[in-house]
């Protein structure tokens, strides 16, 4: 099977020739002198979903230009001011970005773009205008990927994007203090998303879509009451539209999502990743398979953010257990749960080399245990 056929078969809840193996390597890993065998294995065997352009969502729907400047550089870290300019005015954020031996980027927000309800009202003061789908860019990506994987087109998730871009110590209180404003924001922006989605589908862009939002919309961030009021009714309309055109939706959701999996499925989510095990999340993969494994593709469960502490033989055992729990009947792909296949946790050259060995063990074990 090709990489695309393998993923499509699994997502159709049938057993492919072997378990799909997702593995996306960051450039820092691919270019490392000790990664020659890893890169060869990944290029031959990794079955990946690839992000594809479909629509320019701007800044919460508003057309936007971006600029940044370094406002402090100590040698150990930079403070960077980022400015987004929209028809509704400028929105400014500040990040503090440390330097590590590995050069892996990480940062801490000191100021986010939306600080108070007035900023949200300012965004809503300018109507959202439709834009043409990115048909040429999508076609180029589809041609370059070919049978090498499955394309996922990014969908704006207004609420997940808002809480990431807003002052988080304030934003979650707005569900209580500003419910009318939050509903107005969601009505306006989700209508815009649905119009953009329909335009993409009519232009032949899709049929698979993704957003990176739901980890911010479950406990401990958002409780069940507000999930049911502010997430479920809006998301389900979007996914129903995609389904009406033969589309599917995959959700990226870190954290403790076990209690939400059935509701995710009822909402219209067709696949979920990365399904983190404890202590990073609370996913019991065997139980997840029992609950939703016949209707929602499960992707993940290999806790690569901990690989700086694990030995390669530990990684191989994690892979074996995950395959045993979720592979039967299809509907499953192995996936690492940490950024950059675990290399995002590496802060020293020694940690990076160790993570590369763990990546090799992940692929070796997947090929050993993943046959049907």
Domain with residue 155: its CATH number is: 3.20.20.210
Confidence of residue 233 (pLDDT cuts 50, 70, 90): very high
Residue 97 lies in a domain: no
Q: Which residue has the tokens 């290029």?
A: 43
Residue 344 confidence (pLDDT): 82
In contact, 238 and 156? CB cutoff 8 Å: no
Tell me: pLDDT of 340 over 90: no
Residue 105 lies in a domain: no
Tell me: pLDDT of 273 over 90: yes
Tell me: pLDDT of 338 over 90: no
Structure tokens at 257: 């999502």
Residue 90 lies in a domain: no
Residue 102 confidence (pLDDT): 85
Tell me: pLDDT of 221 over 80: yes
Residue 343 confidence (pLDDT): 82
Peptide bond into 252 cis (omega under 30): no
Q: Give per-residue pLDDT as tens, 129-152.
A: 999 999 999 999 999 999 999 999
Q: Which helix (H) or strand (E) holds 217?
A: none
Total domains in the chain come to: 1
- Taking the CA atoms of residue 215, residue 227, residue 161 and residue 285 in that order, the dihedral angle to the nearest 10 degrees is 20
Residue 104 lies in a domain: no
* Strands lying side by side in the sheet with 297-302: 48-52, 149-154, 208-212, 248-253, 271-274, 297-302, 332-336
Please give, one letter per residue, the 3-state secondary structure of 273-324. Answer: EECCCCCCCCCCHHHHHHHHCCCCEEEEEECHHHCCCCCHHHHHHHHHHHHH
CA gap 359, 351 in Å, rounded: 12
In contact, 366 and 304? CB cutoff 8 Å: no
Residue 182 confidence (pLDDT): 98
Residue 274 confidence (pLDDT): 97
Residue 100 lies in a domain: no
Rounded to the nearest integer, the mean pLDDT of the chain is 96
17-36 mean pLDDT = 93
Q: Give per-residue pLDDT as tens, 346-372.
A: 889 999 999 999 999 999 999 999 999
Residue 129 lies in a domain: yes
Residue 133's closest CA among 241, 64, 206? 206
Q: How many Cβ atoms from other residues are within 10 Å of residue 137's Cβ? A: 15
Helix (H/G/I), strand (E/B), else coil: 237 = helix
DSSP of 5-29 = HHHHHHHTTS--SB--B-----HHH
Residue 94 confidence (pLDDT): 97
Residue 215 lies in a domain: yes
CA gap 301, 283 in Å, rounded: 8
CA gap 355, 7 in Å, rounded: 26
Beta strands in 53-199 (DSSP E): 65-73, 77-86, 89-98, 108-111, 149-154
Q: Give per-residue pLDDT as tens, 164-206.
A: 999 988 999 999 999 999 999 999 999 999 999 999 999 999 9
Residue 303 confidence (pLDDT): 95
Domain encompassing residue 140:
3-77+114-369
Q: Give per-residue pLDDT as tens, 75-133.
A: 999 999 999 999 999 999 999 999 998 877 788 999 999 999 999 999 999 999 999 99
- The packing angle between helices 179-202 and 117-124, to 10°, is 40
- Does this model's pTM top 0.85? My answer is yes
Q: Give per-residue pLDDT as tens, 235-268.
A: 999 999 999 999 999 999 999 999 999 999 999 9
Q: For residue 188, give every residue at least 6 positions away whose Cβ sits within 8 Å of its Cβ, in sequence order, or none.
A: 61, 124, 128
Across the chain, which distance is largest between two alpha carbons, in Å? Answer: 57
Residue 96 lies in a domain: no
Q: For residue 237, give every residue at least 6 positions away whose Cβ sits within 8 Å of its Cβ, in sequence order, or none.
A: 190, 194
Q: Which residues pair with 83 in a beta bridge?
A: 67, 92
Residue 254 CA neighbour count, 13 Å, CB half:
13
Residue 7 confidence (pLDDT): 98
């Amino acid at each position: 099977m090709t990489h695309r056929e393998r993923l499509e078969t699994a997502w159709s809840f049938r057993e492919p020739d072997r378990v799909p193996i997702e593995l996306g390597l960051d450039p820092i890993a691919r270019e490392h002198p000790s990664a020659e065998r890893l890169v060869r294995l990944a290029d031959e065997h990794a079955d990946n979903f690839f992000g594809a352009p479909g629509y320019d969502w701007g800044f919460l729907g508003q057309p936007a230009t971006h600029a940044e400047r370094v406002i402090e550089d100590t040698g150990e870290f930079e403070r960077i001011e980022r400015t987004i300019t929209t028809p509704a005015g400028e929105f400014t954020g500040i990040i503090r970005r440390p330097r590590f031996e590995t050069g892996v980027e990480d940062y801490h927000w000191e100021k986010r773009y939306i600080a108070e309800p007035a900023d949200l009202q300012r965004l809503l003061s300018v109507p959202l205008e439709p834009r043409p789908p990115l048909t040429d860019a999508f076609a180029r990506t589809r041609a370059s990927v070919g049978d090498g994987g499955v394309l996922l087109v990014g969908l704006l998730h207004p609420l997940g994007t808002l809480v990431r871009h807003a002052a988080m110590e304030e934003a979650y209180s707005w569900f209580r203090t500003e419910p009318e404003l939050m509903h107005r924001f969601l009505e306006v922006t989700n209508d815009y998303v649905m119009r953009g989605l329909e335009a993409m589908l009519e232009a032949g862009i899709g049929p698979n879509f993704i957003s990176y939002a739901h980890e911010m919309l479950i406990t401990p961030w958002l409780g069940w009451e507000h999930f049911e009021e502010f997430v479920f009714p809006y998301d389900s309309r979007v996914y129903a539209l995609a389904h009406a055109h033969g589309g599917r939706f995959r959700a990226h959701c870190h954290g403790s999502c076990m209690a939400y999996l059935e509701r995710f499925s009822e909402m219209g989510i067709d696949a979920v990743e990365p399904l983190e095990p404890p202590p990073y999340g609370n996913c019991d993969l065997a139980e997840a398979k029992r609950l939703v494994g016949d209707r929602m593709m499960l992707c993940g469960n290999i806790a690569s953010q901990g690989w700086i502490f694990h030995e390669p033989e530990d990684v191989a055992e994690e892979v074996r257990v995950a395959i045993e729990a979720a592979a039967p009947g299809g509907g499953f792909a192995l996936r690492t749960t940490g950024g950059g296949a675990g290399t995002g946790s590496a802060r020293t050259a020694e940690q990076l080399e160790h993570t590369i060995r763990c990546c090799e063990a992940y692929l070796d074990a997947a090929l050993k245990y993943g046959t049907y």
